[in-house]
Structure 1
Amino acid sequence: MLGSLAINIAIMEKKMRRDMDLVRDILLRIEGLKGDFNIYSMYPEYFDQYKVVKGTEEQGNLVIAHYGLLVKSGFVDGVAQTGNVHGLTWDGHNLLDKLR
């Protein structure tokens, strides 16, 4: 299941435009976390367990793709392939400060 999700995310990342409002929302949610979490549990409006809620596929995929870009860019300490979130990096905090 997660393997095919990673392939879909890679395709989405190439096709999408960055949504800085979504980036800010993801960073704010991560900043407010106490401990390790998962990007899926942070967005219950789009995900039930690891499955996208019917009717929210596009937005759910955008959340995952943007999360992956934030991890790859070094703004989030996490694992893009599994969705695990450990927190913001120093650069992530700086980016969030600029986006507030």
Structure 2
Amino acid sequence: MKRDMDLIRSLLLEIEGGKRVFHVISHEIAEMIGVDPAQATEPEEADRLDYHLGLLRDAEFVEFYRGGGGDRQVERITWNGHEFLDTVRDGEIWRRTKDGAKKVGGASISLMLDMAKAYGKHVASERLGISFE
């Protein structure tokens, strides 16, 4: 499965906004284990969500624990998660970061973070009329 950085950013914003539970089971699995089908999603979406929540955990951006019925429950956003989110929160900085990553043919999370910081300084300089050099 391909990593979707827009989804990573979106999930972090949701968590920061207060979302604490993600249902990552398909309708079929929910039915088999007796979980309310209203808490389930389509199989492809459940897999995609579970995969990306796992990436957030792997990047040490968010700590989760498995709840009952296949849920991922948020324990907290880590320092690294807050740093990433604060760097890419602004839509203009995020757009420029993604464009930069496309120009180089893709980028690791650390390179994207470095680009976002650089674009952030540039945007701040434009908006505030001061130099960060």
Max radius of gyration: which structure? 2
Q: Does 1:22 align with 2:11?
A: no
Size of the aligned set, in residue pairs, is 74
Which of 3, 17, 20 pairs up with 1:32?
17
Q: 2:78, 2:54 → 1: CA distance?
A: 14
Alignment check: 8 A CA contact 2:65 2:73 kept: yes
Q: 1:79, 1:71 → 2: CA distance?
A: 10
Q: 1:62, 1:17 → 2: CA distance?
A: 9
1:98 maps to what in 2? 87
Correspondences of 1:45-84 after superposition (within 5 Å): 48-49=38-39, 51-52=40-41, 56-79=42-65, 82-84=71-73
Percent of counterpart pairs with the same letter?
A: 39
Return the structure number with greater relative CO, CA threshold 8 A, min gap 6: 1
Deviation at 1:72, TM superposition (A): 2.3
Deviation at 1:64, TM superposition (A): 1.4
Identify the structure with the greater helix proportion: 2
Q: 1:48, 1:69 → 2: CA distance?
A: 25
Root-mean-square deviation (Å): 2.4
Gaps of 5+ in 1: 1-15, 42-46
Q: 1:65, 1:79 → 2: CA distance?
A: 14
Q: Give the AA of the match of 1:38.
A: V
Deviation at 1:82, TM superposition (A): 4.6
